[in-house]
């Protein structure tokens, strides 16, 4: 800890050293001799402006907190440079993620664009009992650019480097993607609706699912949050996903399909988040009851059998999901930027607490920060 300077003694010693009297100093400073006498008394508080003038006249230096300012300047410079580098790196490796859907029973279509590549995953059709022909294409300058035409197959995807233009030419627009679906010789055309996922610069993203079941909003939950909550509720990870066995049946969660399913005896229920519920009742490997329920429009569609006797399973599945997801609160550090900022603010708090320590050791931290700056360059 630095020793406090006795400016009263310093002024007196410097005056005597220069062979000056208190009157000489008083005349020069345009004050009374009594004021000069007070300045030289131990414990008297000399005004800052007077002290500066005295230091110039009597030729002595006033120590400053230059070291502290150097530390703060270097720390600020370091984090500004780091922030700029992060911004440049994000722009250099920009990733845009889109989720798309059509008015048809299928899982989300995923489109990912980077600075150098395109990736398109079609998604999966749900509950088809017969062969389906599809034609996937997009409109480019009033022409249809066909990506795929033929029988539907699961996990249909397309990956291409930008500029190659086998699938995606320079006029490709994700908002002009279409699919023709032919079922039982009937062809219908569907246009994809894509929503861009906001995947950058979430500082502290807080999610809360209402404790009130009637106010449950599943669209605020992503797949990672669902998995975490399911694990908190007794699900275990398996080779094929996540499962929880109960006396009444077994629950499964498939992250790829974003689907929570339930199996009990000959009943199979599938809950596709933000989409629909599918029920299948089978006997000897064939369906005897089959229906779908749209979670958005609340539309009930009986596909086979006496569906009304199994309508209660809709409420059962919705309640199961609500029980798993309610009282869910989480703070996400969405990316490295968030973590860096968090530790930066924590560091500032600690710096304020350890101010004296930093003043004493500022040279060490100065060179350490300069070394970091040199490394990241």
**Banded model confidence at residue 94, pLDDT cuts 50, 70, 90:** low
Measure the CA–CA gap between 128 and 260, rounded to whole angstroms: 19
DSSP conformation class of 323? H
Which of 141, 177, 131 minimizes the C-alpha distance to 158? 177
Contacts with 72 (C-beta within 8 Å, 6 or more apart), sequence order: none
Measure the CA–CA gap between 43 and 26, rounded to whole angstroms: 20
Question: Burial level of 172, CB count in 10 A (0-12/13-18/19+)?
Answer: buried
Tens of pLDDT, residues 65-76: 555 566 677 777
Tens of pLDDT, residues 189-220: 999 999 887 654 333 333 444 444 444 444 44
What pLDDT is recorded for position 179? 93
Collapsed DSSP state (helix, strand, coil) of residue 282? strand
Tens of pLDDT, residues 216-253: 444 445 677 788 888 888 899 887 788 999 888 999 99
Contacts with 103 (C-beta within 8 Å, 6 or more apart), sequence order: 190
Phi (first) and psi of residue 192, to 5 degrees: -75, 140
236-237 β-sheet, strand order? 236-237, 242-245, 250-254, 259-264, 267-272, 276-283, 286-294, 300-304
What pLDDT is recorded for position 137? 93
Contacts with 279 (C-beta within 8 Å, 6 or more apart), sequence order: 267, 268, 269, 270, 289, 290, 291, 292, 293, 307, 310, 313, 314
In this predicted structure, the answer to whether residue 30 has a pLDDT above a threshold of 80 is yes
What pLDDT is recorded for position 215? 45
**Banded model confidence at residue 297, pLDDT cuts 50, 70, 90:** confident
Per-residue tokens: 175: 């908002």
Q: How far apart are the first and last CA of the chain?
A: 35
Residues of the chain with pLDDT > 70: what percent?
72
What pLDDT is recorded for position 136? 93
DSSP conformation class of 235? -
* 19-33, 135-149, 348-362, range with the lowest pLDDT: 348-362
**Domains recognised in the chain with CATH numbers:** 7-58 (1.10.260), 64-95+333-377 (no CATH), 103-191 (2.60.40), 205-330 (no CATH)
What pLDDT is recorded for position 358? 47
Per-residue tokens: 359: 């003043």
In this predicted structure, the answer to whether residue 88 has a pLDDT above a threshold of 70 is no
Tell me the three-class secondary structure of 193-233, residue by residue. Answer: EEEEECCCCCCCEEEECCCCHHHCCHHHCCHHHHHHHHHHC
What pLDDT is recorded for position 286? 77
Which of 95, 271, 59, 109 minimizes the C-alpha distance to 200? 95
Tens of pLDDT, residues 171-189: 888 889 999 998 888 899 9
CA 24 to chain centroid, in Å, comes to 70
Per-residue tokens: 107: 């899982």
What pLDDT is recorded for position 340? 56
Measure the CA–CA gap between 58 and 19, rounded to whole angstroms: 11
Contacts with 143 (C-beta within 8 Å, 6 or more apart), sequence order: none
CA 110 to chain centroid, in Å, comes to 19
What pLDDT is recorded for position 66? 55
Which pTM was predicted? 0.37
What pLDDT is recorded for position 343? 59
Measure the CA–CA gap between 206 and 220, rounded to whole angstroms: 10
Cα dihedral 16→21→24→28 (10° resolution): 40
């Amino acid at each position: 800890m630095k020793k406090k300077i006795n400016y009263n003694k310093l002024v007196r010693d410097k005056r005597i050293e220069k062979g000056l009297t208190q009157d000489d100093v008083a005349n020069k400073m345009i004050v009374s001799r009594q004021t000069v006498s007070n300045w030289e008394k131990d414990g008297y508080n000399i005004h800052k402006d007077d002290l500066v003038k005295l230091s110039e006249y009597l030729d002595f230096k006033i120590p400053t907190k230059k070291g502290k300012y150097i530390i703060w300047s270097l720390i600020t410079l370091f984090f500004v440079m780091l922030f700029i580098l992060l911004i440049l790196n994000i722009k250099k490796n920009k990733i845009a993620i889109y989720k798309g859907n059509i008015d048809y029973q299928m899982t989300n279509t995923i489109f990912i664009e980077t600075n150098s590549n395109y990736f398109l995953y079609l998604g999966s059709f749900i509950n088809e009992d017969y062969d389906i022909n599809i034609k996937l294409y997009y409109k480019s300058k009033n022409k249809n650019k066909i990506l795929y035409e033929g029988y539907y197959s699961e996990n249909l995807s397309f990956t291409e480097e930008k500029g190659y233009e086998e699938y995606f030419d320079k006029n490709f627009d994700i908002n002009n993607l279409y699919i023709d679906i032919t079922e039982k010789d009937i062809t219908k055309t569907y246009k994809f609706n894509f929503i861009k996922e906001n995947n950058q610069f979430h500082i502290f993203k807080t999610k809360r699912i209402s404790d009130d079941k009637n106010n449950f909003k599943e669209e605020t939950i992503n797949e990672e949050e669902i998995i975490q909550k399911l694990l908190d509720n007794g699900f275990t990870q398996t080779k094929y996903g996540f499962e929880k066995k109960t006396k009444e049946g077994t629950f499964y969660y498939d992250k790829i399909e974003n689907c929570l399913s339930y199996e009990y005896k000959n009943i199979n229920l599938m809950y596709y988040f933000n989409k629909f519920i599918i029920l299948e009742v089978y006997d000897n490997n064939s369906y005897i009851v089959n229906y779908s329920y749209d979670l958005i429009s609340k539309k009930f569609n009986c596909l086979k059998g006496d569906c009304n006797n199994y309508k209660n399973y809709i409420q059962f599945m919705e309640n199961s999901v609500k029980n798993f997801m309610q009282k869910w609160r989480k703070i996400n550090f969405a990316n490295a930027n968030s973590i860096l900022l968090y530790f930066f603010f924590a560091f500032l708090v600690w710096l304020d607490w350890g101010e004296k320590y930093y003043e004493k050791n500022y040279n060490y931290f100065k060179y350490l920060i300069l070394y970091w700056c040199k490394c990241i360059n």
